[in-house]
Structure 1
């Protein structure tokens, strides 16, 4: 896929401008809310995998960015049910650490306190729980948004996971590393490009490009779910009724399930994102597949059930 996003609808372009402006305001605010960090680890087994869910903290974003053009009364009702302080939403940042045999696989690396001050807690969470970042053998990067990528290096530019190999979608890499990607983005979104490109460049000599169906380790496969970004993917793990780590194919435990047609202002290609969201929900609800969502309320684990013409998330 090329670097241009000229096919992105105007609604999404405007939503991202509002998001970047709102994020700048949040970062500057002295009254930043704190949900409380999950310093412990939620652990569970799935087939041959031992999984620990770390918290990188949470984001603070205008709820309207998750539901562009949604009816005001319906969005307000969603916020009441999730105990969010309207008009804001507090998406969690749940990062799975997965062990199988001698492999220790980290799925995304958080924002490293480089994007929002309520995030960047992953390294502290690992160390508090006795996990040496140098022991991680593989890092999977589902996509290159700041909250998933910018924690890759420390302030000196050194890799936080120095002994890992890094697995990235080739379409995602080509999109963000294109020399003209900044000019193809809205003006207010271009500021993330330099740090994003530096983060990816830091792993250039140890990156493995992956595509749909590729195995990261035995029993862990790439599941292509683009739309949120051009090369975003989820992960499918074998065992029991299956487990899908959704990354940002599903981003909210109410909105994504009950209102999958609502336009998410974070999605670069909203029509593709909506189509893949619907397809994924139909699949996991029919097969009762376990889900682990990056932005669902910690620890983000549950499954989808059909509910009328849409779905609902049932937390484990």
Structure 2
């Protein structure tokens, strides 16, 4: 069952000072039998429009942006961290940006507090990929894991890529800090991490799916249930051009051609299989479904 809710919460400081600003957390809930999935806001990114839209046919880009009420000079995609609870395990898919990436992101701790959880409650962390807004929330200010009781899992290809010392010199200047940050964080949990390959079952009812292109070893995760769902990460990274024109290359992808092929195949499968989807940068908490459109597809938010 797909439902949507909004949580209005206050930080501890706001509780102590009633006139302090309160944060509205957008969240969605998806129930799959006895499993509950919540998305928690880590805030949002602030990106130049051409980071995603650059190199696309600009006349059509402008038309798509107008349909969605989007500017093309700057985009502010939300960051939705997925939380799964099945009565035994409390699982995060990615951990947000932490304090060192962008000031508009890194809010996961507040979101967990809003639903009565602490980092100690997390039993497992599954990473879709190693970009800062998904990985850099791993460590605290003392380089200790924020989630001390968690087991960690990431794709073998993804781990090998970010821990390869050659990556920092081959990834390009704009992403060099991504490589340094990922290598440092993954090294600090290297003895606690399980490496996954396509088709592995990291936990009962969860299947890892290799979805490369955004990064070399990006993984999505299929979650079994009466109405199955797929945690997308960034293999479908926005609700506009990625759906309407999935075959277009995007500047946000490290291997744009592979990422486009992944999107085209994945969207077709998601419609055919009837999966709900949970997208890290999709609006309204990120939970919804895919529909075919006259050209391409559309994202339908949970209501």
Q: Common fold, TM-score beyond 0.5?
A: yes
- Distance in 2 (CA, whole Å) between partners of 1:236 and 1:121 is 26
Contact 2:127-2:153 at 8 Å conserved across structures: yes
**TM-score normalised per structure 1:** 0.85
1:53 has 2:53 as partner: no
Map 1:215-234 to 2 at 5 A.
Answer: 215-234=201-220
Map 1:72-91 to 2 at 5 A.
Answer: 72-91=58-77
1:63 has 2:72 as partner: no
- 1:248-294 CA-to-partner distances (Å, cap 9, x unmatched) read 11011111110112211121111111111000011111222111110
- Distance in 1 (CA, whole Å) between partners of 2:24 and 2:182 is 27
Count of residue correspondences: 281
Which residue of structure 1 lines up, in the alignment, with residue 97 of structure 2?
A: 111
Q: Tell me which of 3, 25, 29 is aligned to 1:39.
A: 25
Query: CA-atom RMSD, angstroms?
Result: 1.6
Which residue of structure 2 lines up, in the alignment, with residue 197 of structure 1?
A: 183
- 1:92-127 CA-to-partner distances (Å, cap 9, x unmatched) read 100111011210000000110211111000011111
Which residue of structure 1 lines up, in the alignment, with residue 241 of structure 2?
A: 255
- Distance in 1 (CA, whole Å) between partners of 2:262 and 2:67 is 25
Instruction: Provide the secondary structure at the position in 1 that maps to 2:100.
Output: coil
Which residue of structure 2 lines up, in the alignment, with residue 21 of structure 1?
A: none
Q: Tell me which of 131, 135, 143 is aligned to 2:129.
A: 143
Contact 2:90-2:122 at 8 Å conserved across structures: yes
Contact 2:56-2:250 at 8 Å conserved across structures: no
**TM-score normalised per structure 2:** 0.88
Q: Report runs of 4+ in structure 1 exceeding 4 Å deviation.
A: none
Displacement of 1:220: 0.8
Instruction: Provide the secondary structure at the position in 1 that maps to 2:64.
Output: helix
- Distance in 2 (CA, whole Å) between partners of 1:118 and 1:62 is 14
Gaps of 5+ in 1: 1-35
- Distance in 1 (CA, whole Å) between partners of 2:44 and 2:65 is 16
Displacement of 1:37: 5.5
Which residue of structure 1 lines up, in the alignment, with residue 281 of structure 2?
A: 295
- 1:74-101 CA-to-partner distances (Å, cap 9, x unmatched) read 2233333333344111111001110112
Gaps of 5+ in 2: 1-21
